[in-house]
């Protein structure tokens, strides 16, 4: 779908959700996100054919962040469009290049200490493994602040928007006042195709996420386009940013309230079980993703010196410092 002149949204599905990539066509043709391992073959190349764009014209593909549904198509894209320069945020490069590292340090990193993670669901884990594709090197990294020229009239500004991942990138198109954010913004939930909650917000660094929301508030944004969420336009833009902040505050309050009720300590899993229902209802098999924001809030409290970590038998616990 052409959303602006020579700017396209490429749509497909991931589980019950939308999955979008974006294409900026000009002297330099830029693809934002490569989808999952099957997305280039099943969706991106057929789309290029449909709009009469030769894959040989693709100059650059930018991964907004490290996740199977956003960079898993890197290897299959490169197979057909060998000239394409693969890029991503500097802090996400190592986990994008190596599926093993992605699983070890993003999906399963808390299994030993907290007993939560994707790997505890072998079926879901195997599915994500197919989505992420084989290892594939990145050609160049970005840190935010760069401008990428499309043609004489248009450049895209690279924004560093961490929170969901450390190296998360977004693109700002000043001509259309549009920002393309990948999964940088979460609102109250990630919807399925019927607009019902599918995933909880998955920011994992509270301060970085709030910083991203604060930075985007200062931009002149008419349109938000993302990896899975619907398009936000005009007044919906600030409403979505406000809703994203309100979720963070609500989660922070619930976590603190739960800690106060259990002065001997709480585990991450117990915190997810207790605070989850008050934050929203997601399909049970997606509930594990609450580990990201709730671990983020517990870690932030620990960094403030308000809670301390207890290590003993069983999983790590946190308790309020008296
Ligand atoms: Zn995603």
Residues that place a CB less than 5 A from ion ligand 1: 69, 183, 227
What is the bridge-based pairing of β-strands 147-149 and 317-320?
unpaired
How many angstroms is it from 188 CA to the middle of ligand 1? 15
How many angstroms is it from 280 CA to the middle of ligand 1? 19
DSSP at 194:
T
What is the bridge-based pairing of β-strands 317-320 and 307-310?
antiparallel
Distances in whole angstroms, Cα of residue 270 to Cα of each of 82, 124, 274, 311, 316: 48, 22, 6, 16, 11
Q: How far is CA 91 from the centre of its chain?
A: 14
pLDDT at 313 (0 to 100): 85
Rounded to 5 degrees, φ, ψ at 83 are: -75, -15
Secondary structure (3-state) at 85 = strand
How many angstroms is it from 183 CA to the middle of ligand 1? 6
- Asked whether 307 and 298 are in contact (CB, 8 A), the reply is yes
* Spatial distance between the Cα atoms of 49 and 33, rounded to a whole number of angstroms: 18
How many angstroms is it from 310 CA to the middle of ligand 1? 33
**CATH classification (class only), 249-320:** mainly alpha
pLDDT at 312 (0 to 100): 84
Q: Decide which of 3.40.50.2000, 2.40.50.100, 3.60.15.10, 3.40.50.1010 is the CATH code for 2-243.
A: 3.60.15.10
pLDDT in tens, 177-210: 999 999 999 999 999 999 999 999 999 999 999 9
Give residue limits of the domains in the chain.
2-243, 249-320
pLDDT at 322 (0 to 100): 85
Q: Where are the beta strands (DSSP E) in 90-222?
A: 140-142, 147-149, 155-160, 169-173, 178-180, 190-191, 197-199
How many angstroms is it from 282 CA to the middle of ligand 1? 16
How many angstroms is it from 261 CA to the middle of ligand 1? 34
- Asked whether 202 and 289 are in contact (CB, 8 A), the reply is yes
- Asked whether 228 and 190 are in contact (CB, 8 A), the reply is yes
Is-above-0.95 flag for pTM? yes
Distances in whole angstroms, Cα of residue 70 to Cα of each of 26, 73, 128, 188, 286: 23, 7, 12, 21, 18
pLDDT at 195 (0 to 100): 96
pLDDT in tens, 70-95: 999 999 999 999 999 999 999 999 99
pLDDT at 194 (0 to 100): 96
* Spatial distance between the Cα atoms of 74 and 68, rounded to a whole number of angstroms: 10
How many angstroms is it from 81 CA to the middle of ligand 1? 23
Compute mean pLDDT per 10 residues along the chain, 322 residues long, and list them.
Answer: 97 96 98 98 98 97 98 98 98 98 97 96 95 97 98 97 98 97 98 96 97 95 98 98 98 98 96 95 92 98 97 93 90
pLDDT at 320 (0 to 100): 97
How many angstroms is it from 236 CA to the middle of ligand 1? 21
């Amino acid at each position: 779908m052409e959303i602006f002149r020579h700017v396209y949204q490429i749509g497909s599905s991931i589980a019950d959700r939308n999955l979008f990539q974006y294409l900026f066509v000009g002297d330099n043709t830029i693809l934002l996100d490569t989808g999952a391992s099957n997305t280039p073959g099943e969706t991106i190349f057929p789309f290029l054919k449909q709009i009469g764009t030769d894959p040989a014209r693709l100059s650059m593909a930018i991964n907004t962040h490290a996740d199977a549904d956003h960079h898993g198509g890197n290897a299959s894209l490169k197979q057909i469009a060998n000239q394409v320069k693969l890029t991503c945020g500097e802090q996400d490069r190592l986990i994008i290049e190596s599926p093993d590292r992605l699983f070890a340090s993003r999906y399963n990193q808390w299994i030993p200490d907290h007993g939560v993670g994707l790997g505890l669901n072998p079926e879901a884990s195997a599915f994500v493994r197919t989505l992420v594709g084989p290892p594939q090197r990145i050609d160049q990294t970005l840190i935010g602040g760069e401008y990428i020229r499309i043609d004489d009239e248009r450049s895209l500004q690279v924004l560093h928007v961490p929170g969901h991942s450390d190296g998360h990138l977004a693109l700002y198109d000043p001509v259309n006042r549009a920002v393309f954010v990948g999964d940088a913004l979460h609102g109250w939930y990630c919807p399925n195709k019927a607009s019902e909650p599918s995933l909880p917000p998955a920011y994992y660094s509270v301060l970085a996420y709030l910083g991203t929301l604060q930075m985007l508030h200062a931009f002149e944004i008419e349109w938000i386009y993302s990896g899975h969420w619907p398009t936000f336009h005009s007044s919906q833009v600030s409403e979505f940013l406000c809703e994203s902040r309100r979720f963070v505050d609500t989660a922070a309050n619930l976590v603190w309230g739960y800690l106060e009720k259990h002065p001997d300590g709480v585990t991450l899993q117990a915190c997810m079980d207790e605070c989850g229902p008050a934050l929203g209802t997601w399909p049970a098999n997606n509930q594990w993703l609450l580990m990201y924001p709730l671990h983020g809030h517990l870690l932030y409290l620990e960094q403030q010196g308000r809670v301390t970590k207890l290590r003993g038998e069983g999983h790590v616990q946190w308790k309020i410092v008296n």
